[in-house]
Structures are given as C-alpha cells and as structure tokens.
Structure 1
C-alpha cells in the first residue's frame, strides 16, 4: 500500500484531462484538487486507507469516503456527481463551491470585534435545513464545511458529506459513524464514542456543532476548554464532564449560540428555528 498520493492518479487524469489542477487538501486518508475541465470547475477527491503509526490506528473507511459522499450528494442534487474506484480506494468529482469557509470569512470579526451579518447565518441555516428535510444528518458540521458567498452572490453550501447519516447507502461504500471533529462534537456524541456504544448523529447534534462552529468562527475559541495537546479521548472526556465555556458574544448572538449548545438535545432549537430567529433581527 503506497503512501498518501500527491499526484492525481493517472486513470483520473486520463478520464478528466483537466486544463488546470491545484491541490487544496492533502491529509491522512484523502487528497482534494480543484480542477478545471470543459464543464467548469470541480473538486476531485481521492480516498485511500490510513496506515497504522505509533500515534494513529489504521483506518480503512477513509478509502470509501469519496464514493459514500457522492452517493449522498446524488440524493440531493439534480446534476449527478461522478464517482468510482481506483487502485487504493474511491474517488468523486463534484462541482466546486466558490466562496470562503465560515472561519476564514469571519476573521474580520475576531480581529475587530464586530458581529457577523445575519444574512450569512440564515444562508448557512438554509443549507443545513435542506439537508435535514431530505432525510440526512450531516454528522460533521464545522466552519470549514460551511462555504459562504458574498453580497453579489449570496449563498451557503454545506460540503464534506461523507459522514452523513439518515438514508440507506450502498453496502460496499458504507462504514460505521465514529464521531466527528471533536472541537465541534456534541456531548451525547462524545459520550457514545467513549462508551463504545451505537453512535447516531441527529439533527440536534448538527445544531450543537453549528453553534460550536459559530462560537469558534466569531471568537476563535473551542466550545469546551482542554489542553491543545490533549488526545482525542481526553478531549471527549472534557466535553462529557464539563459545560461549554462562557459565551462572550455581543447582542442576541450570545444567547442564541448558548441555546444551540444546550447539553440536553431536546432543549436545542431546530436549525429552522435558528434561521427564523436570526432573520427577525434584520427586519
């Protein structure tokens, strides 16, 4: 088994013949390129297994993630997302989503202590609500997965749907849900991961993750305090044992984010409730 690929596999180069390609992400288990082909700009994702190291166990599911994501996307969009298998795993090629992720977009708020535009949040809510209405829970909401447009092209896109749950997926591309990026994980998810029990992301855990994403994007702070060098198990223990940090965000934003991160999932608003609340501030 080879190391992480740094080049587009030859079979995919031959298939798509991109006129331009730029590597966007190269991480354990996947690489993403922005490519230009006659049909436009696309994200080409390639997945492969993660080899065992002294710090990380081996992971096979990453090889299946691009095909699984394509399956989810194809239940949501009229334009089919191409996907398939290559020597070490699976791949997909999906339309490129233009814009900034939530964390990068709100850098200005972290540096000059202003509050975000309500329109940006409503657009994010609509993207998440569309997913929920179509029978899916994202399971991995984080600032990097919310791509926002600008005033000339207002929109928000929810990307990286490989972990989404809710509707049946082809068995050959499916894998168990193991939690998400811990910086945005709801307490009930962290507790389930630690206990080794059945882990089921919900609309309520998506709302929690969205609230934690807003907190991180506006303040630069994680929802729960733990050392930067803590391993994932210790991070999750902190999330289960502690309440979220004090939310020091001005105006109506602070109470709303706090409501989204209620420890009891039943007490959190729906993402539609959040959209209605935020939209009312600009009327």
Structure 2
C-alpha cells in the first residue's frame, strides 16, 4: 500500500469521495498531505476486485493543496525515473487538474510500524532481511541522484510473503544536479540524521543510512535510540548523545549486528557505511542468521 498511515483494517467510511475515474471502496489511511483509498475502475462491476490504491492530495490544511500536489508530482516523477522491485510504483496519475491523485497497485500486508506496534520487536534475522531490502531500494534512488529523505517504519510496507516496498517518495531530494543544499527540516524528527539540524551541512546519501539505522535499532530493541519527545531535546540527542547499547534491551544480540547499527548511527556522515557497503554487510549477517530466519 502507498504512503499514509494505514488503518488497522480497510475500514469503511460513511462518505467516500469521487476520485476521477475511480470508485473508492474503503479508506486505507491518511497523513498530513494525502489520503489513500482502495479502489476499482469506475466502469468495473460492483463486485469486481478492488486491486488499486489511489493516493489523493487531501492536506489537513486546505491552503496546503499546492504543496500536496507538488509532493504527488515528485513521487510520480521518481516512480517513472527509478524502477526497482523494492520501490513503490505509480501506474498512472492525474496532476493537471483537481482532484490530484496517483494510482498504485494495492498490496496485501502491513507497514513495519504496524508490525512493531503489534509485536514490539522483530526477530534479528527478519530485521536484517527487512533492512537489506530497504537498503537496496534506497541504493537504487542514490544511483539516480536522489535521497529518499523519510525512511521510517510507517514508510516500509511488508507484503505477506516478506517482500519490502519503500513508500512515499514525496520528500525525496535530488543531489545529482549540482544544486545540493541544506536539508529542510522535513520528515519525522525521530528518524532525521544529525545533519538535518545543522543548516550548513549538505544533503548526502549517508543521511538515508542514518534513518535506516534508527529503523533497524527500533526493530531490534523495540524502542527508538532516543525516547525524548520535545523537538529541541530530540535535536540535542541526535547531535550529541550516544544511543544506549542495543544489548541493554536485547542481551543476546550478536556483536557484529551491534557494531553495524553503531556505524549507521555515527554522528558524522562520512563515518557511516555507504548504502552499497551496508547492503554487503547486511547480506553477510543474513547468511549467518539464515537458519534462524527460516525457523522464525
């Protein structure tokens, strides 16, 4: 399913909007900028499968509709430019007139955020598998000169068979056109890298590595590296504090896994592994834990 917080079920709503040539059958989720509906083509029979997801520009504040439309435009652009098995795909779009929306495949499964809320922690072999698939998606973006900019559990969709899709390309930023600039304070604060809070630091692929490191830390421990809630305190923690050793919350965690998480969460971007190096290390650790993954 595309980005936006997915509801616990495909909950029916009293009044579903008309979305172009699509018939919305249920609300899947909503966020600050959009709503996502399960849908079927309007000309299809009422009992035909609803195999599509419509991401509709529907900002919380009506005046933000232009921003919501630009986010959809960026997502459509990237989906066209970067095709990868672990990236969200866009089948078609309507962005030149209201209502603005994207059409995507409907996926069966859950977001990682839902799984974490349900289970607290993810078994190490499965966590490494999820992280490696996410890293492959991010590496594909990086090869085309783009940062994802908002890697977090609610933007990782886990299909029923374990296949991971990285969602929500609306906050992606280009770093390959010579127009590199400071990171805007956009995204989810708990997953933003230290350089997001320092206006003199430019965008770079290592920023996505940090966000994935926070995500992996949470999968392995059931908590965030920094549990403070106030934005100023969170910024201070990301800039200067060392996260608790993951083994405080998961004592049997293997040393190489702890070392990898620590490297991903390095304060200085150049000390983090590249996304390609991260994929190789995650692959190595996956092989070591593969029998345990099959048993999970």
Would the TM-score normalized by the shorter structure come out above 0.5? yes
Aligned 8 A contact 2:136 2:279 in 1: yes
1:83-102 aligned at under 5 Å gives the runs 83-87=94-98, 90-102=100-112
From the superposition, tell whether residues 98 and 177 of structure 1 become closer, same or farther in structure 2 (CA, over 3 Å).
Answer: farther
From the superposition, tell whether residues 246 and 119 of structure 1 become closer, same or farther in structure 2 (CA, over 3 Å).
Answer: closer
Structure-1 residue corresponding to 2:92: 81
Structure 2 gap ranges (5+): 1-12, 84-88, 178-182, 289-296
Structure-1 residue corresponding to 2:39: 35
For the residue of structure 1 that corresponds to 2:226, the secondary structure is coil
Give the alignment partner of residue 170 of structure 2, picking from 162, 168, 177.
Answer: 162
Q: Distance in 2 between matches of 1:165 and 1:130?
A: 14
Structure 1 gap ranges (5+): 170-175
Q: Distance in 2 between matches of 1:244 and 1:164?
A: 27
Q: Distance in 1 between matches of 2:192 and 2:157?
A: 19
Matched, 1:261 2:260: no
Structure-2 residue corresponding to 1:132: 142
Structure-2 residue corresponding to 1:244: 243
Aligned-residue offset at 1:85: 4.6
Aligned 8 A contact 2:145 2:176 in 1: no
Most deviating of 33-42 and 235-244: 33-42
Aligned 8 A contact 1:70 1:83 in 2: no
Matched, 1:217 2:219: yes
Most deviating of 246-255 and 266-275: 246-255
Q: Distance in 2 between matches of 1:225 and 1:79?
A: 35
Q: Distance in 1 between matches of 2:14 and 2:267?
A: 42
Aligned 8 A contact 1:50 1:62 in 2: no
Q: Distance in 1 between matches of 2:211 and 2:276?
A: 15
Aligned 8 A contact 2:22 2:40 in 1: no
For the residue of structure 2 that corresponds to 1:119, the secondary structure is helix
From the superposition, tell whether residues 36 and 85 of structure 1 become closer, same or farther in structure 2 (CA, over 3 Å).
Answer: same
For the residue of structure 2 that corresponds to 1:17, the secondary structure is strand
RMSD of the alignment, in Å? 3.4
TM norm structure 1: 0.75
For the residue of structure 2 that corresponds to 1:64, the secondary structure is helix
1:142-181 aligned at under 5 Å gives the runs 142-150=152-160, 153-166=161-174, 177-181=184-188
Q: Distance in 1 between matches of 2:137 and 2:114?
A: 18
Structure-1 residue corresponding to 2:189: 182
Q: Distance in 2 between matches of 1:277 and 1:81?
A: 36
From the superposition, tell whether residues 238 and 278 of structure 1 become closer, same or farther in structure 2 (CA, over 3 Å).
Answer: closer
Query: Which runs of 4 or more aligned residues in structure 1 lie more than 6 Å from their structure 2 counterparts after TM superposition?
Result: none
Aligned-residue offset at 1:161: 0.5
Number of aligned residue pairs: give it.
253
Q: Deviations over 1:147-198 (max 9, x none)?
A: 2335xx45221110001111799xxxxxx94321011010111233xxxx6x
Aligned 8 A contact 2:194 2:238 in 1: yes
Give the alignment partner of residue 133 of structure 2, picking from 116, 123, 144.
Answer: 123
